Amino acid sequence: MPWRLISICLTLSFAFPLGALALDEPVDAVPSGETQANHEVIDAPVRGSAWVDSSHRFATDRTLALTRWVDGFFGDSEGDSEIADSRLRLKVTTDWDERRGVETRLSIGGKINLPRLEDRVDLVFRGDDPDELVEGDQDDPSQSQVGLQVRIDQSDTGKHRTDFTVGLSSAGPKPGVKYLYQTMWTPKTSLRVSQRAQYDFDDGAFGATKLDLDYALSERSLIRTQNRVLYGEDSEGTKWSSNTGVVRQWAVANGFERAAYLYAGVKGLSEPDDYIENYQVGLRLRAQGIREFLFFELEPTFNRRAEGPSSPRLSAWAVEARIEFLLFD
């Protein structure tokens, strides 16, 4: 089973044009095809600040569009919960790890609008939530976290947004609040900062801080840096993670889209014992196929893990295979 997964992964690696990860035209270049149709080309000479403003706006719009495409295509749970329309993702994941064996799990993520409540209240499914300090029932790895999200405030520009959240579980409600700030730091760099605080009646209060940066390399590629800190009242220390990678997208002849994400990351624990849990290098290969709502994904990784500050660091290969159905998009 493990070697079959690895062979499939290698086959798809060659099927994906990984040479496309190389940089193509710079982001300031005039786009072609559909992108060119959306941006009028000015033939007449433009002088002074008008030319500067036009170039700035063009680069900014394209960077934002690429960032949103990456979030939507790779199924970012936070991004799904913030869009205006309903969107759900049903995902089946098989995870093989050289040292931990094989696990298969089912999850559902996204949100459903509740239109009778003035489009301000959503039913949210978090699926595999990376912000959970306290893991779910180990006997039921398929369980999904469900909750309500109420939009309290949102700026006209969309830079600021505040939501009141209520997680629903057998242990009772988990009230919380979430704040999001996103902006263009430079014409080619988007910045996103989010802060979430929540209270669990069994496990106490916990919070999550995220900082993400995207830098556009071209029309179809960007560098993404993601940083996350998790801290809780009753958790064992403060958990943190950071990763940086290159994302490349392309479309194939049948109109379906594909993307590759080559990354390196590290995660650790700051208290009570300060140590690095894992160094990781990975490659996510994701393809839309057969139908527009169907996605296939393979993610091989190489890990250098330590179970504790005094434990030896061990190497381990792992492969995740995913099939995802996109609903209500």
Q: Quick check: is 31 in a domain?
A: no
In this predicted model, what pLDDT tens digit does every residue of 6-27 receive, in sequence order?
A: 454 444 443 444 444 444 444 4
**pLDDT at residue 48 tops 70:** no
Residues 6+ apart with CB under 8 A from 30: 36, 39, 41
Residues 277, 274: Cα–Cα separation, whole Å: 10
Residues 6+ apart with CB under 8 A from 200: 134, 167, 171, 174, 206
Q: Quick check: is 90 in a domain?
A: yes
Closest CA to 230 of 132, 128, 125, 308: 132
Q: Quick check: is 149 in a domain?
A: yes
Closest CA to 161 of 115, 114, 193: 193
Residues 6+ apart with CB under 8 A from 102: 1, 2, 94, 95, 96
Q: Quick check: is 267 in a domain?
A: yes
Q: Quick check: is 9 in a domain?
A: no
CATH number at 321 reads 2.40.160
Domain that holds residue 198: 64-327
**pLDDT at residue 174 tops 60:** yes
Counting the structural domains of the chain, the total is 1
Q: Report the pLDDT value the prediction gives residue 127, as an integer from 0 to 100.
A: 67
Q: Report the pLDDT value the prediction gives residue 9, as an integer from 0 to 100.
A: 45
**pLDDT at residue 158 tops 90:** no
Average pLDDT, the chain: 76
Least confident of 48-57, 63-72, 290-299: 48-57
Average pLDDT over residues 143-162: 78
Q: Quick check: is 159 in a domain?
A: yes
Closest CA to 65 of 249, 236, 273, 199: 249
Closest CA to 122 of 144, 149, 83, 85: 149
